A and B are shown apart, each in its own frame.
Chain A
Amino acid sequence: MSLPEILGFGHSGRGVGVRDHQLILPSVVCSTRVSRRIAAEVGAVTFAHQHGCGIIGIDVAGIDDFFVDLASHPNVGSVLIVSLGCETIQGNELCAKIARFNPSTQYIVIQESGGVEGAVAKGILLARVLASQFKPSRQRIEELVVGIDFSRQIADPRALVDALAKQGITCISADQIHGCAKNFSTLMAQKAQVILSFTSENQPPTGFALIPVINVASASPLHNAIMGEFDLKSDATSEEIAALILKVASGAKTISEANQSGEIVAPRAVRSV
């Protein structure tokens, strides 16, 4: 049996992505609003976080690495870092680290751009140039990596993984204890291009800005009450799941993707100073 063809985006050296997102990455909470304005103007993806400043110990390298993982993910085309200027994680240094993996990366510094309006204007220009310079080619995906979030146990995980393998889909997984949002970040760092989430019975379905998340319902009262928010019902077969993964990998939007629901959780171990 020949493997199904999936068309993705050739993101040079970083594999093939199932999406071609431009990431506007605030290096600190202070850049949140500037990042949102740029992202809204150019149709890019951004997110709010609180981690680029006031961090100490292992969190400094941990957050740096997390930002590098996000920016070099195969679903990301180009990256614009929005730095304030006086924060712990400096825009120019982060840019150099990311550029080793994703050369389509630039940064702006609010304090060196004459303030908010100057930074927004400069950011929009740079983001547009980055997007036009980098034209991903449509490529066949040799190996689609699907991250499975097992926030809840399912009856036969082995059968599911085998059924997906038959379609040429490689699976990686994250286990129960951490909850979906943390699992999504873990699966992102392992470069999953699509996430399949078996969220806990008492948790809502949720998404991840850079990776399409397919949510499979359980039979719990909460999930029954909001069944329409799930991509697949609790009785979905492995074949149905595999078929949807292939559709999503080729561009079909998941429900959480359309809702843009879900905030990104970064790994932290130490309190802010």
Chain B
Amino acid sequence: MSAPQLLGYPRSDGRWGFRNHILLLPLHQALCNTAREIENSVFSAVAVSHDWSGEIDSDFERIAKVFAGIANNPNNFSTIFLTIGTETETKIIERSRVLGATPLHVLSLSDSGSMAHLLTSAIALASQLKEAANKESRVLAPVSAIVLGLECGGSDAYSGITANPALGLASDRLVELGATSILGETMEILGSEHLLAARALNPAVGQQIIDLVARYERSINYEGIDIRGAQPSRGNIEGGLSTLEEKSLGAAKKAGSAPFTGVLEYADHPTAPGLYFMDTPGHDIEQLTGFAAAGVNIAVFTTGRGTPTGSTVIPTIKVATNTQMGSVLADLIDLNAGTIADGSQSLEEVGSLIFDKIIEVANGRQTKAELGAHHEFNLSRLYGSTL
């Protein structure tokens, strides 16, 4: 199997980026509109919006980890933190500094003296960084540069027989070539965890997968809710899925058949190549945000119902599970895997098309989500329901 020609931006910590973003990261909700205004005036700058006001509660650790991690995503050329000027913010920035190699800049409201000055100086800095980013050119990258995120949302009865197994083939091929691939969405492996655990590189990793799923189910039960009754979602049911177990068996197919190298907590960085399972919510954007904080630099998102969303920093390829949706909602979809069910293409052919699309997008081709500027960010909170 020959390795494809992959072009990326080498970062000084050994990781690779496939985009060269200037990330605008406000550490207070009061500054999010300023970040959006900068995004609107500086091409290639991307802004994060959230509703955090600096609260230090039981979710603080999770939130700090996500801010520090996304600031260091290798797809960022540079990150500009917009701050109020508090010690809590300084701690998050310090944490980010030790995590990776992304050059970090800090502009604080209290130093600027006003929102207007903060906006002016941030636009000046972002424009200057954009020019520097434009001078960088892509160089030949090894396939191990890829850290792939596997995601599905708005699943239907086709997900488990078309797009997900085809993505699994692409993931397997990447892992075999030395790349990293991460499966998330703990809820969506509930009921199929024993099958994934059996594929673990060693029994300890297998047990970790089982334990994560059990912990997840306890955390939902803690709220007095039977998750197997609350899922699949209404949209899934309309798409033909009958039980959570059926949804899970289909969802897990995104991870192909490679052995699981390890298990990651939400937003943790993988330390060696291979296939990983990460504990994330099934909520699409909370998951993509966890991936972004973990250093994922490209993602494939299979969908049966169709959704326009994408990540702030990860180019996200949408694969349709059925041809009908793929053609009606063509402006959301990058690739149609419904041809497998139509009988016009084999699973292997579509797997190969997904693989090629990953390389093409990594090399700079814009996804539909990027072209439409759909780049959401959500903070995942547990509200104390941890066990």
Cβ of B249 under 8 Å from chain A: no
Least distance between B235 CB and chain A CB atoms (Å) = 2
A115 engages B231 (CB within 8 Å) = no
Least distance between B190 CB and chain A CB atoms (Å) = 10
Known: A261-B30, A270-B223, A271-B385. A48 touches B305 (CB 8 A): no
A261 engages B225 (CB within 8 Å) = no
Least distance between A259 CB and chain B CB atoms (Å) = 5
The CA-CA distance from A202 to B286 in the complex, in Å, is 29
Q: By CB atoms of chain B within 10 A, which of A32, A226, A228 has the most?
A: A226
Residues of B within 8 A of A90 (CB): 234
Among the 9-residue stretches B91-99, B202-210, B335-343, B372-380, the one with 4 or more Cβ atoms under 8 Å from chain A is B372-380
Q: Is the interface of B mostly helix, strand, loop or mixed?
A: loop
A111 engages B86 (CB within 8 Å) = no
Least distance between B36 CB and chain A CB atoms (Å) = 9
Residues of A within 8 A of B86 (CB): 202
The CA-CA distance from A204 to B113 in the complex, in Å, is 11
Cβ of B220 under 8 Å from chain A: yes
Residues of A within 8 A of B235 (CB): 85-87
Known: A115-B329, A115-B332, A272-B380. A229 touches B114 (CB 8 A): yes
Cβ of A153 under 8 Å from chain B: no
The CA-CA distance from A174 to B225 in the complex, in Å, is 31
B residues 206-264 touching A (CB-CB < 8 Å): 219-220, 223-225, 227, 230-231, 233-236, 238-239
Cβ of A141 under 8 Å from chain B: no
The CA-CA distance from A259 to B113 in the complex, in Å, is 15
Least distance between B250 CB and chain A CB atoms (Å) = 15
A263 engages B328 (CB within 8 Å) = no
Residues of B within 8 A of A85 (CB): 235, 305-306
Least distance between A201 CB and chain B CB atoms (Å) = 11
Among the 9-residue stretches B11-19, B277-285, B357-365, the one with 4 or more Cβ atoms under 8 Å from chain A is B277-285
Residues of A within 8 A of B307 (CB): 30, 84, 86
Cβ of A57 under 8 Å from chain B: yes
B residues 3-58 touching A (CB-CB < 8 Å): 28-34, 49-51, 53-55
A residues 163-216 touching B (CB-CB < 8 Å): 179-181, 202-207
Residues of B within 8 A of A54 (CB): 281-284, 286
Cβ of B136 under 8 Å from chain A: no
Smallest Cβ-Cβ distance to B306: which chain A residue: A111
Least distance between B179 CB and chain A CB atoms (Å) = 28
Q: Which of B51, B227, B380 lies in contact with A265, CB distance below 8 A?
A: B51
A225 engages B115 (CB within 8 Å) = no
B329 engages A269 (CB within 8 Å) = no
Q: Is the interface of A mostly helix, strand, loop or mixed?
A: loop
Q: Which of B113, B234, B305 lies in contact with A225, CB distance below 8 A?
A: B113
A273 engages B227 (CB within 8 Å) = yes
A30 engages B309 (CB within 8 Å) = yes
A271 engages B281 (CB within 8 Å) = yes
The CA-CA distance from A115 to B334 in the complex, in Å, is 13
The CA-CA distance from A225 to B113 in the complex, in Å, is 6
Smallest Cβ-Cβ distance to B154: which chain A residue: A86
Cβ of B330 under 8 Å from chain A: yes
Least distance between B82 CB and chain A CB atoms (Å) = 11
List the 4 closest pairs (A to B, CB-CB), nearest first: A86-B235, A54-B283, A50-B378, A206-B30
A and B contact pairs by CB, cutoff 8 A, 17 listed? A29-B376, A32-B309, A50-B283, A50-B376, A53-B233, A84-B307, A110-B306, A111-B329, A115-B332, A116-B372, A117-B331, A179-B55, A228-B113, A263-B33, A268-B381, A270-B383, A273-B283
